[in-house]
């Protein structure tokens, strides 16, 4: 069996090759590379697909978060309540603005932000709540929305891993005042480089994000606010326009692969040794990652690698224990569920083009590796 990589973007590219090359040539012929008609068309198409009033293309998921927080005027002295278990950008975007990330533990099963923890973390200085829809499953938005409404606190969704995920029929990114997406190549909708998107319902907030992505200039060279260069390239938009119509079918393939893993892992040798990702009712998980929990995770990972199975660890260090946040004064055991996940979570290959044979190889390898425990 040839090695099974964690992701195989070449398998995704092959059937779209001609169409994508034609889209890139279109941009080359137009010689308009920054924003412009390709980006505007993508924004319209994605706003319709996500069910958002406005969609604003930006330079990355990180910059989507940064621009969203800037649009809300968040800065020094402000607090933003967020999860302790996510990609660094979630907390980095808060801290870069001089605001304080206030971390909360995760639910042990979904690894999404714990709503009771959020309630306890809110103070008079809380300016936003930033849930992350981790690995492609929505956080528990109904009670979070209730909390936010009660306190008059805006929600900014980090939906970087969750494009197309739903919660009670509504899409990730459309719950908060602003929703942030990433087109990093390994996200479910990936560009050929960096890219991101902010969605908004409110016209005024959308306009703020639009202005901020271009140095805060409402009119060129006239600045009432200070923004940055958070613009999306036309080449990325052109590529994404080819890929976006296929997203639904890729999501279905990922969900089929997840279901197949669940069957394979029913085998007696695996059933009690591997904890599978939990899907909550009323939510569509889009499986940006299929993350299991295993004892002796690092050894299991190395042994899988030796058998040609690619895996990844998301994330080995929870955010509250990152060295750069040392001044916040957190200690190990502050957030036990996030810390446990950092110790034992392991992402398996789940990309849409993964075959049944490859999945069987992953399961067989895992069984062999665990029998050697």
For 110, the token pair is 């979904």
Choice from 50, 58, 83, 87 touching ligand PLP (CB under 6 A):
87
> Is residue 232 part of the contact set for ligand PLP (CB under 6 A)?
no
Choice from 39, 43, 60, 206 touching ligand PLP (CB under 6 A):
60
Smallest separation, CB 138 to ligand PLP (Å): 13
Smallest separation, CB 241 to ligand PLP (Å): 18
Give yes or no for a contact between 84 and 338, defined as CB atoms under 8 angstroms apart: yes
Give the pairing of strands 156-158 and 178-182.
Answer: parallel
Smallest separation, CB 18 to ligand PLP (Å): 27
E strand map for 247-293: 283-284, 290-293
Residue number with the shortest CB distance to ligand PLP?
Answer: 61
> Is residue 61 part of the contact set for ligand PLP (CB under 6 A)?
yes
* End-to-end Cα, the chain, rounded Å: 23
For the four alpha carbons of 44, 46, 48 and 50, in that order, the dihedral sign comes to negative
Q: Which helix (H) or strand (E) holds 126?
A: strand 126-130
Which range, of 94-102, 156-164, 334-342, 350-358, touches ligand PLP by CB under 6 A?
156-164
Which range, of 55-63, 164-172, 213-221, 297-305, touches ligand PLP by CB under 6 A?
55-63
Choice from 23, 55, 62, 338 touching ligand PLP (CB under 6 A):
62
- The span from the CA of 9 to the CA of 111, in Å, is 27
Choice from 57, 173, 196, 277 touching ligand PLP (CB under 6 A):
196
Other Cβ atoms closer than 10 A to 37 = 14
Name the phi and psi angles at 362, rounded to 5: -60, -50
Smallest separation, CB 161 to ligand PLP (Å): 5
Distance of alpha carbon 227 from its chain centroid, rounded? 23
Binding site for ligand PLP (CB under 6 A): 60-62, 86-87, 89-90, 132, 158, 160-161, 182, 184, 194, 196
């Amino acid at each position: 069996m040839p090695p099974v990589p964690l992701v195989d973007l070449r398998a995704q590219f092959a059937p779209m090759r001609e169409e994508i090359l034609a889209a890139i040539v279109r941009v080359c012929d137009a010689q308009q590379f920054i924003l412009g008609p390709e980006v505007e068309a993508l924004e319209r198409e994605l706003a319709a697909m996500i069910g958002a009033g406005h969609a604003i293309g930006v330079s990355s998921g990180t910059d989507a978060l940064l621009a969203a927080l800037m649009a809300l005027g968040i800065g020094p002295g402000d607090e933003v309540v967020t999860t302790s278990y996510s990609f660094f950008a979630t907390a980095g975007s808060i801290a870069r603005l001089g605001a304080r990330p206030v971390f909360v533990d995760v639910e042990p099963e979904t690894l999404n932000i714990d709503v009771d923890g959020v309630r306890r973390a809110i103070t008079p200085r809380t300016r936003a709540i930033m849930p992350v829809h981790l690995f492609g499953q929505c956080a528990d938005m109904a009670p979070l929305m209730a909390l936010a409404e009660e306190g008059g606190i805006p929600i900014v969704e980090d939906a970087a891993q969750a494009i197309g995920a739903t919660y009670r029929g509504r899409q990730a990114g459309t719950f908060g005042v602003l929703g942030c997406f990433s087109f990093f190549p390994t996200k479910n909708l990936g560009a050929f480089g960096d890219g991101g998107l902010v969605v908004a319902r409110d016209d005024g907030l959308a306009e703020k994000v639009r202005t901020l992505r271009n140095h805060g200039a409402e009119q060129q060279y006239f600045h009432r606010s200070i923004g940055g260069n958070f613009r999306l390239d036309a080449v990325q938009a052109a590529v994404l326009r080819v890929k976006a119509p296929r997203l639904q079918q890729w999501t279905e393939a990922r969900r089929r692969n997840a279901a197949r893993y669940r069957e394979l892992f029913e085998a007696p040798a695996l059933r009690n040794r591997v904890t599978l990702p939990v899907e909550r009712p009323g939510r569509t998980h889009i499986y940006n990652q299929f993350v299991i929990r295993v004892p002796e995770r690092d050894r299991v990972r190395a042994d899988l690698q030796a058998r040609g199975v690619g895996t990844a660890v998301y994330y080995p260090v929870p955010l509250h224990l990152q060295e750069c946040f040392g001044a916040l004064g957190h200690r190990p055991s502050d957030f036990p569920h996030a810390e446990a996940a950092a110790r034992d979570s392991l992402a398996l290959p789940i990309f849409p083009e993964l075959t049944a044979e490859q999945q069987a190889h992953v399961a067989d390898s895992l069984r062999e590796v665990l029998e050697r425990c």
